[in-house]
Amino acid sequence: MIDGQLPILQVVLPLMMAPVTLILRNPRAAWMLTLVVTWATFTISLSLLMQVLDSGTIIYKIGGWAAPWGIEYVLDKVGAFVMVIVSGIGSIVLTYSRRSVEMEVPEDRIYLFYTMFLLCLTGLMGIVITGDVFNLFVFLEISSLSSYVLISLGKDRRALTAAFRYLIMGTIGATFYIIGVGLMYMMTGTLNMADLSALIPAVADTRTIQAALAFLTVGICLKLALFPLHLWLPNAYTYAPSVVTAFLASTATKVAVYVLIRIVFTVFGGVGVMEGLGVQHILMALALTAMFAASTIAIYQNNVKRLFAYSSVAQIGYIILGLSFVSESGVAAGIIHLFNHAIMKCAIFMGLGCVVLRIGGVTIKDMHGLGHRMPWTMGAIVLGGLSLIGIPMTVGFVSKWYLVRAALEKDMWFIAVLIVLSSLLAVIYVWRIVEAAYLKPVPENAAPVHEAPISMLLPLWVMALASIYFGLDATNTLSIALDAANALLHGGVL
Amino acid sequence: MSPETTIQAAMITPLVGAVLISFAGRWPNVRETITLVTAVIMFYLVASLYPHVMDGGRPSLVVGEMLPGLPIAFMVEPLGLLFALIASFLWIINSIYSIGYMRAHNEKKQTRFYVCFALALASSVAIAFAGNMLTLFVFYEALTISTYPLVTHAGSDKAKQGGRVYLGILLSTSIGLLFLAIVWTWMIAGTVDFTPGGILEGKASATVIGILLALYMFGIGKAALMPFHRWLPAAMVAPTPVSALLHAVAVVKAGVFTIVKVVVYIFGIDLLSVMANSDWLLYISGFTLLCASIVALRQDNLKRRLAYSTISQLSYVVMATAILAPLSIVGATLHIAAHAFGKITLFFAAGSIYTVSHKTEVSQLDGIGRRMPWTMGAFAIGALSMIGVPPTAGFISKWYILHGALDSGQILAVAVIILSTLLNAGYFLPIVYAAFFRKAQGEHGEAPLPIVIALTLTAAGTVLFFFFPGIFLELARQLI
């Protein structure tokens, strides 16, 4: 009975609980409630993923109205997988969050923080599960608006400008998206994704549909921070509270990538826009530029949060590069890197949160000698860094293996070379931190520092060890990614 | 214990050791005992595989799949066993030496030192036993990462610089070239298992094979083929026990070991010998061999001179492999063992001198042989082995390499070997001469006892190798 309602629960549960935290007001109680809700959504996501893997795509008709008149929720392998990522990251980050939030957010606003967190989770889950392009826009706005607020809660006053900038850019992105949706509606009269993918091939040659595609792609690329539309990201990540950075870096951009996958491979699946309209080459060129430009900029950053923010832009390049091969192993590489990057960046930003808690800042100078003063925290950050480089036995290696394979399969050997070269740039920026933490002496007159509390270290190390576990045995995650890629490339699942 | 369990135990032992060492950090005596016991157990386990392999057994073990169709797998074959035997045996001696050296210098962070050492040894043995190229690569990188803290042990700016060069070259060659080569091989052949006779025959054009060969040979940066050799002199900032065991034995031998492995089990000797465009490997290794020797002549810093000598000696192995004659492959295998004993002795001696007298330059060593007879005696034996003079280990391996080169009519290789023997003599004999026949300066005695014991043992090993090469020779013969 309740089994059939699980898809909607995913969205409704955090949505209904958000106002409750507002009423509770007590920081501790709000945190507890949010914690329970996120873990519940994670459990539901896992069981949904199992269901999808066992018995195929789940379709849920809201209010019993059949599509295309009613809104339907559709969960296929990609969706279920991304959903597990989002709710899993959310649960771990939330478990970690209490001490960090207490320190970085003014006490009288902590309950608001958790309200916004739940709303953001609602939005992200909704985007992933919906099968309706307009409904997707609604959830996109819910998640975006709440994340602007979350970012602006940062201690540094520059968080306000960062949030404002993200607000402007994000709104432009969302507007572009809705223009694209409007144009599609004009030509087909439907907003249902499955319906759209059936109707679009007939009108694909019209300028309206092509304009729609252009608006959609640019709008989504703004949200997922594809170079050069990434300008909002570095400041937002740098000045947001650490918990928010850890959560958004591993989920928000990933969900935007998911939207791109949905639009390109499902809605426009019957048209072959990637090859036919040359979207493939544009994305590939931008992805490669992102990999090199953003990594190079990362090398010169002195704020470590900012450094890893630029690294995120580069890593998004890897994901998009995988998708742009439009081959099974390429798309699988993109999807698997979406998962892998979420894990490692979550670990890194949570580690930086520990540093903020104890030291108060995360410039390279703050890291001097930290390897000996906070060995567990730095150990986890270094593990995350090794994963970014793609050292074997970490998840980064798995992604790189499949990306290089996809490039070689298409005989694009120079792209394979570029992939490995750009991962060498990661060596440089990661090693700046390693050298600072382990080879620089502890600054004189530095106050004594304790290791971060166990309530933060535990979730941190769960993520760090996950990045090793899924690097040692990638067969499960890869088989899901390969299945999903296969389904996407053969007409989309919806 | 079945051989499969033994393989597992041999790799897990040093890991357990590392954990125990880190817990015992507060009690140095306990900590060092754990290191020694771990080393002895590990050697015993590796050695107990010897009879199985000599009987023609190839015990193997699949741990699990890492990527679909690509397992982490181990298989013990003669070459790997030889490498594992040497590394684990010398670890025992090196641990004795480390105790003397690290304590005499009051080095900091000794716990981290011993932990990383155990991790490096675990990686080395895993490389030795790797059953496919993916497994080998995984532990090849693990070895790089686990030795980085050892190279930068001093924590000084100089150590940081050395660490940068070390990591920079080793990671960029392995990620940039070797990784690419492995993925490519996998796509061409559908497997990366080490298979007798190779896996690439008839699968790709001569051009592709040629490119792959280059990617492998330069990608294996640990073999220090020019122009990717700079990391080895840079690694000399490490404490001497690290230079001795890791940068004369474990790490560099992992490099040439991988080269032999790739040539024999990935390409296959037959495939390469019919290919016209594989000659360059012979030339580039010959060039490295001579060039490094000439550079070594001009080094005044003793450890740097030894490092360049190592680069040159590593190229012996590569060149012997590139000759592609069965006898020279035997020679290459033997040289991995012979050079290990000789070079670790030389480094032990260098560290011994530094411990007692704080002398690092060759020009300061006048008359030191009279004050430190054991040290310089061992040094002399090591030096003779490098030159290839009987009765030392170096003679045996050179003999096989020369024999193989003559058999297959590689006159160029013969000339290179002869010339380099002269060069070796040119940069080692003056040191020995000055140490024993020049006037002494400074007042100091022999090094601490653990150091003397260690270097005497390895020097004795170098000589015994000459008289009883059987253990290694039989293994090497099984290879072809």
Express each pLDDT in A396-416 by its tens digit.
999 999 999 999 988 888 899
Residue numbers of B between 71 and 100 with CB closer than 8 Å to A: 72
**What are the backbone angles phi and psi of residue B265, rounded to the nearest 5°?**
-105, -15
User: What are the structure tokens assigned to A402, written together?
Assistant: 């499949």
pLDDT at residue A2, as a whole number: 65
Instruction: Calculate how close chain A gets to B178, using CA atoms only, in Å.
Output: 10
Identify whether A228 is preceded by a cis peptide bond (ω within 30 of 0): yes
Q: Which DSSP letter does residue B249 get?
A: I
Contacts of B142 in chain A (CB under 8 A): 392-393
For A420, the closest chain B residue by CA position comes to B176
The CA distances from residue A158 to A161, A236, A238, A247, A357, in Å, are 5, 9, 9, 20, 19
- DSSP three-state, residue B367: coil
- Residues 6 or more apart whose CB falls under 8 angstroms from that of A291 comprise A314, A317, A318, A321, A418, A419, A422
CB contact under 8 A, B179 and A472: no
Q: pLDDT, tens digit, for every residue of A333-349?
A: 999 999 999 999 999 99
Residues A81, A68: Cα–Cα separation, whole Å: 25
User: What are the structure tokens assigned to A481, written together?
Assistant: 């990614």
- Amino acid of residue A284: M
The CA distances from residue A390 to A257, B124, B242, in Å, are 21, 20, 26
Burial of B255 (0-12, 13-18, 19+ CB in 10 A): buried
- Asked if the C-beta of B145 comes within 8 angstroms of chain A's C-beta atoms, the answer is yes
Binned at pLDDT 50, 70 and 90, residue A173 comes out as very high
Residues A242, A252: Cα–Cα separation, whole Å: 15
The CA distances from residue B371 to A160, A192, B374, B431, B432, in Å, are 73, 90, 9, 15, 13
Average pLDDT across each block of 10 residues of chain B; the chain has 480 residues. List them in order.
85 90 84 88 90 84 84 89 90 87 80 88 92 92 91 86 90 91 90 85 82 90 87 87 84 90 87 78 89 89 89 90 84 89 90 85 81 86 88 87 85 88 88 82 77 88 86 79
Residue numbers of A between 430 and 459 with CB closer than 8 Å to B: 431, 435, 438-439, 441
The answer to whether A244 and A116 are in contact (CB under 8 A) is no
Task: Report the residue from A391, A405, A424 with minimal CB separation from B145.
Answer: A391
- Asked if the C-beta of B67 comes within 8 angstroms of chain A's C-beta atoms, the answer is yes
For A437, the closest chain B residue by CA position comes to B155
Instruction: Select the residue from B11, B15, B62, B67 to test the A interface by mutation, using most A Cβ atoms within 10 A.
Output: B67
The answer to whether B387 and B394 are in contact (CB under 8 A) is yes
User: What are the structure tokens assigned to A378, written together?
Assistant: 């730095």
The answer to whether B179 and A404 are in contact (CB under 8 A) is yes
Identify whether B391 is preceded by a cis peptide bond (ω within 30 of 0): yes
Residues B440, B52: Cα–Cα separation, whole Å: 53
CB contact under 8 A, B68 and A479: yes
**Cβ neighbours around A25 below 10 Å, total:** 12
- The answer, yes or no, to whether residue A492 has pLDDT greater than 70, is no
Three-state SS for A208-235 is HHHHHHHHHHHHHHHHHCCCCCCCHHHH
CB contact under 8 A, B187 and A409: yes
Residues B162, B170: Cα–Cα separation, whole Å: 12
Q: Which DSSP letter does residue A58 get?
A: E
pLDDT at residue A282, as a whole number: 87
CB contact under 8 A, B66 and A386: no
Provide the pairing of β-strand B60-67 with B70-75. antiparallel
pLDDT at residue A363, as a whole number: 87
Task: Report the residue from A386, A420, A472 with minimal CB separation from B176.
Answer: A420
Q: Angle between the A475-489 and A395-409 helix axes, to the nearest 10 degrees? A: 40
User: What are the structure tokens assigned to B92, written together?
Assistant: 């025992």
pLDDT at residue A494, as a whole number: 46
Place of tokens 């007798």: B196
CB contact under 8 A, B64 and A478: no
- The answer, yes or no, to whether residue A281 has pLDDT greater than 70, is yes
User: What are the structure tokens assigned to A16, written together?
Assistant: 């209904």
- DSSP three-state, residue A59: strand
- Residue A471 has, within 13 A of its CA and on its CB side, a CA count of 30
- Residues 6 or more apart whose CB falls under 8 angstroms from that of A378 comprise A351, A367, A370, A371, A437, A438
Residue numbers of A between 91 and 130 with CB closer than 8 Å to B: none
CB contact under 8 A, A427 and B160: no
Q: Which ranges in A327-453 belong to alpha helices (H)? A: 328-359, 370-373, 375-389, 395-409, 413-439
Contacts of B67 in chain A (CB under 8 A): 398, 401, 474-475, 478
- The answer, yes or no, to whether residue A262 has pLDDT greater than 70, is yes
Residues B199, A74: Cα–Cα separation, whole Å: 46
Residue numbers of A between 460 and 489 with CB closer than 8 Å to B: 471-475, 478-479, 482
Residues A439, A371: Cα–Cα separation, whole Å: 9
Residue numbers of B between 150 and 169 with CB closer than 8 Å to A: 152, 155, 159-160, 163-164, 167-168
- Asked if the C-beta of B471 comes within 8 angstroms of chain A's C-beta atoms, the answer is no
User: What are the structure tokens assigned to A18, written together?
Assistant: 């958000």
pLDDT at residue A493, as a whole number: 46
For B153, the closest chain A residue by CA position comes to A439
Nearest 5°: the CA angle A377, A378, A380 is: 70
- DSSP line for B69-80: TEEEEEE--HHH
Instruction: Calculate how close chain A gets to B99, using CA atoms only, in Å.
Output: 24
Burial of B306 (0-12, 13-18, 19+ CB in 10 A): buried
Burial of B64 (0-12, 13-18, 19+ CB in 10 A): exposed
Instruction: Calculate how close chain B gets to A75, using CA atoms only, in Å.
Output: 25
CB contact under 8 A, A439 and B163: yes
- DSSP three-state, residue B132: strand
- The answer, yes or no, to whether residue A17 has pLDDT greater than 80, is yes
pLDDT at residue A264, as a whole number: 87
- Asked if the C-beta of B186 comes within 8 angstroms of chain A's C-beta atoms, the answer is yes
Q: Please tell me the total number of residues recorded for chain A in this structure.
A: 494
Cβ contacts from A onto B, under 8 A:
77
**Cβ neighbours around A380 below 10 Å, total:** 25
pLDDT at residue A40, as a whole number: 93
- Asked if the C-beta of B270 comes within 8 angstroms of chain A's C-beta atoms, the answer is no
What number of H helices and E strands is found in chain A? 20, 2
CB contact under 8 A, B175 and A472: no
Contacts of A478 in chain B (CB under 8 A): 67-68
For A480, the closest chain B residue by CA position comes to B68
User: What are the structure tokens assigned to B63, written together?
Assistant: 């741990």
Buried b (16+ CB within 10 A) or exposed e, A317-333: bbbbbbbbbbbbbbbbb
**What are the backbone angles phi and psi of residue A303, rounded to the nearest 5°?**
-90, 120
- Asked if the C-beta of A420 comes within 8 angstroms of chain B's C-beta atoms, the answer is yes
Task: Report the residue from A408, A423, A482 with minimal CB separation from B175.
Answer: A423
- Nearest CA among A195, A290, A301, A172 for reference residue A238: A301
Binned at pLDDT 50, 70 and 90, residue A120 comes out as very high
Buried b (16+ CB within 10 A) or exposed e, B188-222: bbeebbbbeebbbeeebeeeebbbbbbbbbbbbbb
pLDDT at residue B189, as a whole number: 87
Contacts of A475 in chain B (CB under 8 A): 65-68
Q: pLDDT, tens digit, for every residue of A367-386?
A: 888 888 888 999 999 999 99
For B149, the closest chain A residue by CA position comes to A438
Contacts of A383 in chain B (CB under 8 A): none
The answer to whether B339 and B394 are in contact (CB under 8 A) is yes
Q: Which DSSP letter does residue B246 get?
A: I
